[in-house]
Amino acid sequence: MKNISSNVQPLVQGSDFLDSEIVVIGSGPGGFPTACMLAEAGRDVLLIEEGAFLPQSSSRPFSLEEMETKYRNGGVTFAIGKAKITYVEGCCVGGGSEINSGLYHRTPEEVLVRWSSEYMVKSLNYEILEHMFAENENELNVGYLPGEAPKASVKLQMGASLLGWKSMEVPRAFRYDTPYQPDRPKGTRQSMTEIFLPRFIKAGGRLMPNSKVLKLKKNSGSAGWDVQSLFMFEKGVKRHITIRAKTVFAAAGSIQTPVLLRRSGIRHNIGNSLRFHPTIKVVAEFPEKVNSMEMGVPVHQVKEFAPKYSFGCSISSLPYISLALLDHPAQIGGIGEKWENMANYYCMISGGKGIVRAFPFSSDAVVRYSLDEADLCTLSDGLRELCLLLLKAGAKALYPTIVGAPVIRKKEDLILIPRPLPADRANLMTIHLMGSCPMGEDTARCAVDSFGKVHGTDGLYINDASILCDAVGVNPQGTIMVLARRNVLNFLN
């Protein structure tokens, strides 16, 4: 990967202006496949990424170091609202694919039907997309575990089975080393830098990391765009660069894409319909060890009550367990001795709606997200069911992420979980951001057409999670990538 930095530096040292037929902004699960497919089709492509290139070997997966170096704001960004919701964005080459668990879902068919009908999206039926899903899955090596699941994951499956609820193992974009070891699975996360970066460079694509796009401006001299960027050299030296492009694909994510477009004066239905999967967590403590420094990603989810709410087991490394226990300070002191008996579990819903705005006189975003009382009641109901499942699986203590919440030790304690969840005390989070610039032919509510072209604007496309019409109800990376592939093929044809 040495050719990345060596190719970038000469690009910007000699001139304040660059030219490229196509500029792709953002290198996550929308941006990198977009840039790669275009480059492999023979187009001149420059891929711009705000974050640095940090290979997977630069930090232990799901460690504090990874959070500090690959997450925006260290992973602590808040949406303003009655209920506090922390959301997570990747900020590095590869975007969210470099930090997520790699769990993979195809878009539920009923969601595609709803989007086609309610938002007037063309060519979105499952038959058209099926082979594209398969191509993405083949490229990402999506598959099931080659052996036993981590103990924390099995606990979720066990509790669901004892209650007669539907659970499933979710396939993952991961290449396991052989032989497979259940207690310490080794391998490589199949992120954008692993899969698409080598192909992109080989096809002649140019990558510019450490460069934040500040504004898009219509080029008055010719058809196209001036992409105004701030490039960060080593040792903190900054330089303003303008890239002249015929076509721009914005793929910076559901927060940064609408902020950029609104800052550029493009506002029609931009940033007005942000959707989250609001999530509440509970730390479960078991009599036996279920966790370790080498534990793999938990892969089971419970879909018995979907789409109302879903359960899963999330990343449970020591830093993540510690964060989840902040609402139970009495437990923090002894965490080092018993965290291997603990794991993080979550209840996820699809409720609420938000807006994204550009912060005045700044490149930062202002995000507001509203949950009504019905949403908070749904979260409370789901949390109670999740706690019942974990007690059934043998948990001896449960610690919900609610300030001042009691410890749940038996079924009779479930009544102590408030309904609705108290908006001022419930610590909610999400890693799934989508829908801020929805696609479709309904111009009264959609920001882009059925294939990502911004309504009323030539040469400008969005190709990331922003264009999902609303909350997809499952891990969205599979949906993001299949839409990116579909839209690029439409553009090339």
Distance, CA of 354 to CA of 282 (rounded, Å):
25
Which are the contacts of 130, defined by CB distance < 8 A and separation ≥ 6?
Answer: none
Burial class (CB in 10 A: 0-12, 13-18, 19+), 144: exposed
Enzyme catalytic residues: 432
| DSSP letter (8 states) at residue 405 | P
- Paired tokens of 329: 């300070």
Q: Using alpha carbons, select from 115, 99, 39 the residue that is nearest to residue 65.
A: 99
Distance, CA of 122 to CA of 139 (rounded, Å):
26
Distance, CA of 79 to CA of 367 (rounded, Å):
5
Could you give phi then psi for residue 392, rounded to 5 degrees? -60, -30
CA atoms in the 13 A half-sphere facing the CB of 221? 3
DSSP per residue over 232-262, as a string?
A: E-GGG-EEEEEEEEEEEEE-S-TTHHHHHHH
- Paired tokens of 346: 């979550």
Helical axes 2-13 vs 192-202, angle rounded to 10°: 60
Q: Is the dihedral of CA 232, 234, 236, 237 positive or negative?
A: negative
Q: Using alpha carbons, select from 22, 462, 30 the residue that is nearest to residue 260.
A: 462
- CA Rg value for the chain: 22
CA atoms in the 13 A half-sphere facing the CB of 468? 28
Burial class (CB in 10 A: 0-12, 13-18, 19+), 7: middle
Cα separation values, 432 from 18, 133, 297, 465, 484, Å: 34, 19, 17, 9, 17
| DSSP letter (8 states) at residue 445 | T
Distance, CA of 401 to CA of 309 (rounded, Å):
17
Asked whether the beta carbons of 417 and 407 are under 8 A apart, the reply is no
Asked whether the beta carbons of 54 and 1 are under 8 A apart, the reply is no
Cα separation values, 467 from 254, 351, 359, 366, 483, Å: 8, 18, 22, 19, 9
Pairing state between β 238-250 and 460-462: parallel
Asked whether the beta carbons of 387 and 398 are under 8 A apart, the reply is yes
Distance, CA of 226 to CA of 229 (rounded, Å):
9
